Structures are given as C-alpha cells and as structure tokens.
Amino acid sequence: MRTSSGLILAAMRDTILPYSIYTRVIFVAWLAILSTSCTPTAKSVNTVASDPLVDAGRKLAVEKTCTTCHSLNGQPGVGPTFVKLYGRKEKLTDGTEVLVDDAYIKESILNPAAKIVARHTPSMPVIPLTDAELEQILALIKSLK
C-alpha cells in the first residue's frame, strides 16, 4: 500500500540529493506517519465532552498497547478502528453477524479468538484487564461516534 507520503518519497528518490539528506527526509516522514496513526490526540479522538471514564479508557488503551492495532481516529489498522465501532454489526469469519455491544467487546478482549471479524486476522493477544479497566475501554469505544 502506498500512501501519499510514499508517493512523495518515491518522487524525491529520483531527484539528486545527498544520501544523508534523503535518509533524514525519509525518517522525518516516517515519524510524521507514525505519530498520526499511532498516537491519540485531541484532534484524533472524537469525544463530545471530557468524561473521566473515557479519559481513563484512552490512557489505558495507550498503556495496554491497544492503539498499536486499533486506531482512535478512524484509520484502518491490524484490528478494527474504535471509531463508530459500538453498535455496528460485523460479519464474522464463520459467516454469521454479531452486534458490537458490551458483551461482544468484553468477550473479544478476554478471549480474542472467540469471534473473528471477517476482514481481520486472529492476531490479538489476550490482555488481562480488571472489570474496572474493561469499563474504561468500553466507555472510550462508546464515546468514539
């Protein structure tokens, strides 16, 4: 997959630049792409108002590395984005559909291989969470409308 940044870098590669400048440009572009796709920011999180439970969920999602695969800004990733996830129907690999609600999300966190969404591979590790932490993650996902 080529991003617009990748096309720009490909075009720059054909220009005559000293190697050190070219590698620095690639590194800076890579950092920019990484920071926009992996780090939640106030702009990338679609919450209406600040809620302590949502804020705790956002912090926990980063700490537990959920945001490595699940974006908070709608961008596709290894796993489904958290944006507009809650309340949606997902087609599973076995052909059935499931409503993304509290029960499904909790089951998917505690037993990731139980139900796999058709367009994703079963790669999520089991991440132990307390009941309070599960509620924080749920609050975050529900807030990303």
More confidently predicted of 24 and 60: 60
In eight-state DSSP terms, residue 47 is -
Is there a domain that residue 32 lies in? yes
Interstrand relation of 89-91 and 97-99 (parallel, antiparallel or unpaired): antiparallel
> Measured between alpha carbons, how far apart are the two ends of the chain, in Å?
27
- The reply to whether 31 and 81 lie within a common domain is no
What are the pLDDT digits (tens) for 67-114?
999 999 999 888 889 999 999 999 999 999 999 999 999 999 999 999
Q: What are phi and psi of 98, to 5 degrees?
A: -135, 145
Determine the Cα–Cα distance for residues 113 and 142; give it in Å rounded to an integer: 22
Mean pLDDT within 33-41: 51
> The whole model's pTM is what?
0.65
Give yes or no: residues 63 and 126 share one domain. Answer: yes
CATH code for the domain of 131: 1.10.760.10
Whether 64 and 34 map to the same domain: the answer is: no
Q: Are residues 82 and 134 in the same domain?
A: yes
pLDDT recorded at residue 91? 94
* Domain shared by 137 and 84, yes or no: yes
- As for how many domains the chain has, the answer is 2
Q: List the structure tokens of 82.
A: 């958290």
* Confidence (pLDDT) at 141: 96
* Whole-number pLDDT of residue 90: 93
User: Are residues 64 and 131 located together in one domain of the fold?
Assistant: yes
Structural domain includes residue 117: yes
Assigned domain for 84 exists = yes
Residue 47 lies in a domain: no
pLDDT score at 142:
96
- What are 38-77's pLDDT values in tens digits? 544 444 444 455 899 999 999 999 999 999 999 999 998 8
The reported pLDDT for the residue numbered 30 is: 55
pLDDT in tens, 128-138: 999 999 999 99
Give a yes or no: residue 33 inside a domain.
yes
Contact (CB, 8 A) for 25 and 13:
no
Q: Is residue 46 part of a domain?
A: no
Q: What is the pLDDT of residue 77?
A: 86
55 burial level (CB within 10 Å; 0-12, 13-18, 19+): middle
Residue 19 belongs to some domain of the structure? yes
The parent domain of residue 27 ranges over 4-38
Angstrom distance (rounded) from CA 29 to CA 12: 12
